[in-house]
C-alpha cells in the first residue's frame, strides 16, 4: 500500500514550489491598496484545495476579506478535524531592511525568506499537502476534515468572528487543528495550550489647529507630543506594571502546578536574549521571564508619529500626535471590559488643553486548552514519530483570536501544533520559515490525522 509519508518526501520540490507561489501574493490585509492581492490569495488557495481532492471548496465573500472553506466528509465513524489558518500577512514595512524583497520568496541556508513564510502561509499550507499525500496514497482520509482559512487574522478577524456563530453546522467538528505557533527549537516540537488575547487601540491627540512656531507659542499652548509622552508613561510603569485601574482584576492567578510546568519549560534565556538583541531582559519582577512572555498581560506601544520627522531640525509645536498600542490579555480578562477601562482611564488622564479620539481595533479573549483531549495524544505521538522526541507544552504570548471563539461558540478544543521558530522574524523584516520543518510539518500532519482517525470517537 502506498505510504503517504513516502509520497510527501518524494514531492518536496513541488510542495516548496507551490508555497513559493503562495508567498508571491502580497496579501496584506490591513492595507487597502492590497485588497486585490488578498482576493487573489483566496482564489489561489481555493484552487489548490480543489486540486488536492478536497470538496465543497468555496470562497465565501464577507464584509471584509473572503473566507476559504473546503471539506472531505466520507468517514462517518471517525472524528472530524477543523483545520484553521490564515492566508493574509502583516505589512512588510520597512522595506529597506529586507535582504531580499518580502514578496520575492528566497531560499538561503535552508530558510525560506518571505512575508508570511512562517505566519501563516507556510504553516497552513503544510496541512493541505498532508491531505494531498493521504488522498493520493490511499484515495481517502482516515477521518473527516474541514478547512476554514481566513484573510483577516492580522487585522482582527472580524469577518470570521461574524461567520462562526451563523455557521455552527458548517464548522461543526470534534477538534480544531491550528498551526500558527512556534516550536522551542528546530528539533524540539511544542504544543501550545494557552494563548494571550488582545485589545488594540489607536489614540489621536489634537492640540492647536495647526503646527505653531514653538518660539512664539511655546509656554502658552500645550504640546500634543509632550501630552502623549505623559499618557504613555501613565499607561504602564517602567517595571512593566500596567497602570490602568482594574486592569488586573480578572486575571486568573497562575496555579502552583502551572508555575511548576512553566518553570520546567526548556527556555534558553541566553539564546533568546541574543535573538532579541536587547541589552537585557525586562519586565514584572514578581514573575519569571517565561511567565511574563506567555502568562502575564502586558501593554506595548506599536507606533508613534507626530510633528516634524524629516531631516534636521524644525521648531514646531505640532497640531497632532498619534499612537497605536495594544494590551495582551490572559484568562479571564474580558476584552470588552478592558476596552471600557481604557476609555475611562484615558478620559481621566487626558488634560483639557487638548482633544483626543480613541479607536478600538481588533480584540480577542485569551484561551486555555484541555490537555486531556484525545487529539492532544494524537498530536503528541505524531511529533514523537516525526521529530524523535515528545513535544513540550507551553503558553504562547501571541494572540489567535479565533481559538477562543472556537472554544466558546463551537465548543471546540484546539490543538495548537506549530512549526515556526522564535527566530522566524514574523511581523518584522526578513520573515522566514525553516524549510526542514515545513517538510516535517507535512509529515506530522499526516501522522496526526492518522492517529486521531484511530482514536475512540
Residue with cell 512656531: 213
Q: Of 140 and 230, which CB lies nearer to a copy of itself in the complex structure?
A: 230
What are the Cα distances from residue 128, in Å, to 5, 26, 169, 191, 225?
14, 20, 22, 20, 49
b/e code 29-60 from CB counts within 10 Å (16+ = b): bbbeebeebbbebbebbbebbeebbbeebebb
Q: Of 176 and 299, which CB lies nearer to a copy of itself in the complex structure?
A: 299
CB of 204 to a copy of itself, least distance (A): 12
Q: For residue 305, count other CB atoms closer than 10 A to its CB.
A: 11
Q: Of 168 and 210, which CB lies nearer to a copy of itself in the complex structure?
A: 210
Q: Of 32 and 256, which CB lies nearer to a copy of itself in the complex structure?
A: 32
CB of 406 to a copy of itself, least distance (A): 18
CB 442 within 8 A of CB 130: yes
Q: Of 12 and 427, which CB lies nearer to a copy of itself in the complex structure?
A: 427
CB of 306 to a copy of itself, least distance (A): 5
Contacts of 109 (CB under 8 A, 6+ apart): none
CA distance 304 to 253: 33
Angle, helix 435-454 to helix 122-138, in steps of 10 degrees: 50
CA distance 395 to 448: 21
Q: Of 94 and 139, which CB lies nearer to a copy of itself in the complex structure?
A: 94
CB of 49 to a copy of itself, least distance (A): 28
* Cis before 158 (ω within 30): no
Distance of alpha carbon 352 from its chain centroid, rounded?
Answer: 38
Residue with cell 506601544: 301
Q: Of 69 and 98, which CB lies nearer to a copy of itself in the complex structure?
A: 98
CB of 427 to a copy of itself, least distance (A): 4
DSSP character string of 43-65:
HHHHHHHHHTT-EEEEEE--SSS
CB of 390 to a copy of itself, least distance (A): 22
CB 224 within 8 A of CB 214: no
CB of 182 to a copy of itself, least distance (A): 7
Q: For residue 67, count other CB atoms closer than 10 A to its CB.
A: 22
CA distance 155 to 340: 21
CB of 307 to a copy of itself, least distance (A): 4
CB of 321 to a copy of itself, least distance (A): 7
Distance of alpha carbon 109 from its chain centroid, rounded?
Answer: 25
Q: Of 335 and 453, which CB lies nearer to a copy of itself in the complex structure?
A: 335
Closest CA to 121 of 133, 110, 129, 109: 129
CB of 102 to a copy of itself, least distance (A): 13
Q: Of 35 and 136, which CB lies nearer to a copy of itself in the complex structure?
A: 35
Q: Of 51 and 428, which CB lies nearer to a copy of itself in the complex structure?
A: 428
CA distance 19 to 40: 15
For residue 286, give the DSSP letter: T
Amino acid at each position: 500500500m502506498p505510504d503517504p509519508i513516502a509520497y510527501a518526501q518524494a514531492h518536496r520540490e513541488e510542495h516548496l514550489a507551490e508555497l513559493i507561489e503562495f508567498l508571491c501574493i502580497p496579501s496584506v490585509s490591513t492595507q487597502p491598496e492590497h485588497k486585490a492581492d488578498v482576493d487573489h490569495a483566496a482564489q489561489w488557495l481555493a484552487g489548490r484545495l480543489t486540486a488536492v481532492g478536497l470538496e465543497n471548496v468555496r470562497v465565501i465573500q464577507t464584509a471584509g476579506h473572503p473566507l476559504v472553506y473546503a471539506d472531505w466528509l466520507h468517514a462517518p465513524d471517525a472524528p472530524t478535524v477543523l483545520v484553521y489558518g490564515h492566508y493574509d500577512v502583516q505589512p512588510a514595512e520597512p522595506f529597506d531592511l529586507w535582504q531580499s524583497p518580502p514578496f520575492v520568496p528566497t531560499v538561503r541556508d535552508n530558510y525560506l525568506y518571505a512575508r508570511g513564510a512562517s505566519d501563516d502561509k507556510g504553516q497552513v499550507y503544510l496541512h493541505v499537502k498532508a491531505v494531498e499525500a493521504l488522498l493520493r496514497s490511499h484515495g481517502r482520509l482516515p477521518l473527516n476534515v474541514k478547512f476554514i482559512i481566513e484573510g483577516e487574522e492580522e487585522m482582527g478577524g472580524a469577518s470570521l468572528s461574524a461567520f462562526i456563530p451563523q455557521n455552527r453546522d458548517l464548522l461543526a467538528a470534534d477538534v480544531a487543528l491550528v498551526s500558527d505557533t512556534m516550536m522551542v527549537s528546530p528539533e524540539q516540537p511544542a504544543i501550545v495550550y494557552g494563548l494571550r488575547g488582545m485589545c488594540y487601540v489607536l489614540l489621536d491627540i489634537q492640540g492647536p489647529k495647526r503646527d505653531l512656531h514653538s518660539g512664539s507659542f511655546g509656554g502658552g499652548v500645550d504640546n500634543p507630543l509632550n501630552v502623549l509622552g505623559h499618557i504613555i508613561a501613565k499607561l504602564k510603569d517602567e517595571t512593566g506594571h500596567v497602570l490602568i485601574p482594574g486592569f488586573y482584576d480578572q486575571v486568573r492567578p497562575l496555579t502552583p502546578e502551572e508555575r511548576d510546568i512553566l518553570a520546567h519549560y526548556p527556555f534558553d534565556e541566553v539564546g533568546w536574549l541574543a535573538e532579541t538583541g536587547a541589552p537585557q531582559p525586562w519586565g514584572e519582577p514578581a514573575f519569571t521571564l517565561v511567565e511574563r512572555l506567555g502568562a502575564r498581560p502586558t501593554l506595548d506601544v506599536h507606533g508613534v508619529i507626530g510633528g516634524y520627522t524629516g531631516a534636521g531640525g524644525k521648531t514646531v509645536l505640532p497640531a497632532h500626535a498619534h499612537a497605536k498600542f495594544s494590551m495582551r490579555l490572559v484568562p479571564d480578562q474580558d476584552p470588552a471590559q478592558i476596552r471600557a477601562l481604557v476609555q475611562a482611564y484615558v478620559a481621566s488622564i487626558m488634560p483639557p488643553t487638548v482633544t483626543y479620539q480613541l479607536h478600538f481595533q481588533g480584540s480577542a479573549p485569551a484561551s486555555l486548552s484541555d490537555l486531556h483531549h484525545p487529539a492532544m495524544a494524537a498530536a503528541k505521538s505524531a511529533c514523537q514519530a516525526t521529530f524523535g522526541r515528545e513535544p513540550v507544552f507551553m503558553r504562547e504570548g501571541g494572540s489567535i483570536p479565533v481559538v477562543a471563539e472556537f472554544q466558546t461558540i463551537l465548543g471546540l478544543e484546539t490543538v495548537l501544533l506549530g512549526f515556526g521558530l522564535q527566530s522566524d522574524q514574523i511581523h518584522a523584516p526578513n520573515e522566514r520559515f525553516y524549510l526542514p520543518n515545513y517538510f516535517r510539518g507535512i509529515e506530522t500532519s499526516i501522522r496526526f490525522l492518522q492517529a486521531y482517525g484511530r482514536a475512540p470517537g
